[in-house]
Amino acid sequence: MDESQEKEEQQTSEPIIQPIIDLGSSLIQTDKGTIYVLTIVGQIEGHQVLPSSAKTTKYEHVLPLLAKLEESDEVDGVLFLLNTVGGDVEAGLAIAELIAGMTKPTVSIVLGGSHSIGVPLAVAAKHSFAVPSAAMTIHPVRMNGTIIAVPQAFEYLAKIQERIVDFITTHSRISAERLQQLMRETGQLTADVGTVISGKQAVTLGLIDEVGTLSGALDALYQMIGQARETHP
């Protein structure tokens, strides 16, 4: 292979590889449809910039990308790969709201885990999966740093909690009462209240639609794309 051929191959591969490096995303093109794959990993970074050593998903990158995907004629559906420890509550909710508001077929799959504010992200897609080894931590809202111990501060936290509960119950089959019960559980976490559930338990509770793997998530998304094409040819 001569030098010119090597340069040509390198230039051809760069558009494919660069989005994976920058955003952990890729485009899958088949006869059944074009799927955009987006990973949500590490901590959800909000208004505070996290240390460079932390693996993060930056909401200022994800929000405009979701808007672009919604309007793109080249993308038929979006697959979200989730492995997040949680993070900024309002940034996470903002991403979840945009996902839930998309008209295109969307599927999420919880891989290692989708903890804390990762729970709304997991249920935001039109259909959700969790691998058998997945884990999800459900706990009340907490605030880092010092807060003034006045009724207004606790009312603020209660309102945030209410927004999270409303979102999760609107986009899944779990009841608000059962969700709050899991949040207040005291027998599982060593120094905190809350509950850790597996992928199978998440399905039983009605948080996640079904236990499955990548192939199942792709099949479901292609099926949704096919139905959308029949409805709007």
Give the confidence band of 7 by pLDDT, cuts at 50, 70, 90: very low
Assign 45 to helix, strand or coil: strand
| 116 part of the active site | yes
CATH 3.40.50.300 fits 30-231, yes or no: no
Token pair 């003034």 in the structure block, residue:
148
Span of 4-13, 130-139, 172-181 with lowest mean pLDDT: 4-13
Distances in whole angstroms, Cα of residue 124 to Cα of each of 58, 107, 170: 18, 9, 9
Calpha distance 42→75 (Å, rounded):
26
Give the model confidence (pLDDT) of 141-198 as tens digits: 865 544 444 455 677 778 888 999 999 999 999 999 999 999 988 877 756 778 999 9
Calpha distance 119→110 (Å, rounded):
9
Calpha distance 71→74 (Å, rounded):
9
Dihedral sign computed on CA atoms, order 136, 114, 166, 77: negative
Q: Rounded to two decimals, what is the model's pTM?
A: 0.85
More confident residue, 230 or 157: 230
State the catalytic residue, choosing from 116, 128, 171, 172.
116
Which residue type, as a one-letter code, is found at position 49?
Answer: V
State the catalytic residue, choosing from 108, 114, 115, 139.
139
Which residue type, as a one-letter code, is found at position 28?
Answer: I
> Helix 151-170 and helix 89-100: axis angle, to 10°?
30
Calpha distance 31→5 (Å, rounded):
29
**Domain map (residue ranges) of the chain:** 30-231
Give the confidence band of 13 by pLDDT, cuts at 50, 70, 90: very low
Asked whether the predicted pLDDT for residue 99 surpasses 90, the reply is yes
Average pLDDT over residues 48-71: 86
pLDDT mean across residues, the chain: 85
